[in-house]
Structure 1
Amino acid sequence: MPTSSIGITDPPGSLDGVDERRFVVALARGLELLRAFRPGETLLGNRDFVERTGLPKATVNRLAYTLTTLGYLRFDEPAGKYALDTGVLSLGFALLAGADALELARPHMRVLAREIGAAVSLGCRDGLDMIYLETIRSETALTLGLAPGSRLSMLTSSMGRAYLAVQEPDLQAALLDELEATAQKNGEDGPRLVKAARDAISDYARDGCCYSFRDWHADVNAIGAPVRDLRNGRWLVLSSSGPASSMDEIFFRDVIGPKLRALAARLV
């Protein structure tokens, strides 16, 4: 499949860069239901699926039934909602088992986390989000760090901004347009967030890193550096985050930045 942004609820004619003859909309919609689950959530109902995917209720009903039959969802009778089932877990294990870059990165991430006293993570793109493959927390300080499988907005996270920074101009522009539209749909200030993302992309041209200072969360500073996964032909991103109240912008630019870039260079 071409690397492009895909609006699942859009008619096929609006999917720029996608070969409509090869793109299976029904499959894409089913996968979108699985992506509707967020970190910490165990049960979602049909109304949740409709709100998060924009799909009609009748379509959601059919997709949920199919995914349940195939073992990717499980219906909880007392709650009247769906939970992820073992089929999804097996896919996740298969991904991580084949992630050579993750195996290579993990010991280096552990050393860096201990050295800087901050969480160090590795992630990749999933739709308009970045998904964590691994997080190593510092053993010497109380640090932030989301668990593997957690998602972050590509627009506001340092990880997402670093991913955007290394995309071809056409794809980068298309992603920013889609991210802005999604942000505005969610009641956020899309133009302001896109400007912040563009500023971070400019930082990459100068520093080799992208920053998110209190943009993703009011008390979180973070930095991201892209890594090319040559074996799998994709971009991964190393990131580090910590409390903005104790780790200021200068610390991320001057202390963590050079070390994170050096690690990214070693993993290529």
Structure 2
Amino acid sequence: MAASTAVSSPGSAARPSAWPDDVDERKFVVALARGLELLRAFRPGDTLLGNRDFVARTGLPKATVNRLAYTLTVLGYLRFDEALGKYALDAGVLSLGFGLLAGTDTLELARPHMRALAREVGAAVSLGCRDGLDMIYLETIRSETALTLGLASGSRLSMLTSSMGRAYLAVIGEDERNALFAELAQAAGKGQAGAGLAQAARREIEAFARDGCCFSFRDWHEDVNAVAVPFRDPRDGRWLVLSCSGPASSMGEDVFRERVAPRLRALARRLGQSR
């Protein structure tokens, strides 16, 4: 079989860092990938983005951004606000999300158990999966007393700072994990903060063999502690991750290690065996 070659199309020097370094250019559709990167530029809390925002977040040339945004608007994935000169996500994106959630049988099975656990520990329980260099939330269920930040379906967190991302990194193959760490380090930059997050993530990954879970204590947010456990989706074999998060001011590390983690591990085992 011929070896794969890196994509080398016009303008590829400005391609987003989330693209694979080694792909078969005979099969890789650069224009499609660029269009999807434009949609990924929206982050939790964003409602409107302009062309300058797209250029800054994707690294794509302005002329390319203009054409992609127009195309996505025509197809119903973006909506243009003429008064503000900016774009919002439109119903086409929502329909794709519903398609994913509707096809996730495990999510349907998980919801009542997540709700029960959230009530029991007084925190937020989430289910997510990998999306590029982030983890994306498929569902979050909060207890009535949970005071955690409002992360909902579609929210994204870095693999380095989130317990969910660390748990995913802990269970994939070593070669894939090293490649991801290289991409994450590049995305985080060369500063001390990025290096410190990478070290903290590696420590949690090393402890996974002992703990069966990964923690994030004030790494993602100064008042949020969390724990996460990965499991294989029985339906399609992909890795999913359960996490539980709560305010660090009232739920300390000992609460997560001694009370929350055992319950989350038990739920992950149950969901991983469901058919």
- The alignment's TM-score, normalised by the length of structure 2, stands at 0.90
Shift of residue 41 of structure 1?
Answer: 1.2
Contact 1:162 1:210 in 2 (8 A): yes
Alignment correspondent of 2:202: 198
Shift of residue 139 of structure 1?
Answer: 2.4
Q: In the aligned structure 1, how far is the partner of 2:21 from the partner of 2:69?
A: 28
Decide which moves more: 215-224 or 187-196: 187-196
For residue 136 of structure 2, the aligned residue among 131, 137, 144 is 131
Alignment correspondent of 2:172: 167
Contact 2:16 2:37 in 1 (8 A): no
Alignment correspondent of 2:3: none
For residue 240 of structure 1, the aligned residue among 241, 244, 249 is 244
Q: In the aligned structure 1, how far is the partner of 2:181 from the partner of 2:14?
A: 18
The answer on 1:83 being equivalent to 2:88 is yes
Alignment correspondent of 1:3: none
Shift of residue 203 of structure 1?
Answer: 1.9
What's the RMSD between the two structures over aligned residues? 2.0
For residue 212 of structure 1, the aligned residue among 209, 212, 216 is 216
SS in 1 for 2:221: coil
107 and 160 in structure 1: CA distance in 2 versus 1, 3 angstrom threshold: same
Give CA-to-partner distance per residue, 1:31-52, whole Å, 9 cap, x none. 0100111112110000000010
Give CA-to-partner distance per residue, 1:31-90, whole Å, 9 cap, x none. 010011111211000000001011111111111011111110111000100011111011
The count of corresponding residues between Structure 1 and Structure 2 is 261
- The alignment's TM-score, normalised by the length of structure 1, stands at 0.92
Q: In the aligned structure 1, how far is the partner of 2:13 from the partner of 2:151?
A: 27
Shift of residue 144 of structure 1?
Answer: 4.2
Shift of residue 227 of structure 1?
Answer: 1.5
In the TM superposition, what are the counterparts of 1:19-168 in structure 2 within 5 Å? 19-168=24-173
Contact 1:121 1:145 in 2 (8 A): no
Shift of residue 15 of structure 1?
Answer: 3.8
Q: In the aligned structure 1, how far is the partner of 2:15 from the partner of 2:145?
A: 48
Q: In the aligned structure 1, how far is the partner of 2:85 from the partner of 2:182?
A: 37
197 and 110 in structure 1: CA distance in 2 versus 1, 3 angstrom threshold: same
Contact 1:136 1:145 in 2 (8 A): no
Contact 2:43 2:155 in 1 (8 A): yes
Give CA-to-partner distance per residue, 1:156-193, whole Å, 9 cap, x none. 000010111111101100111111111117x6722111
Point out where structure 1 has 5 or more consecutive residues left out of the alignment: 1-5
- Aligned residues with identical type, % of pairs: 75
SS in 2 for 1:189: helix
Give CA-to-partner distance per residue, 1:198-248, whole Å, 9 cap, x none. 011012111000010000011110001002113223111000001111111
Contact 1:129 1:152 in 2 (8 A): yes
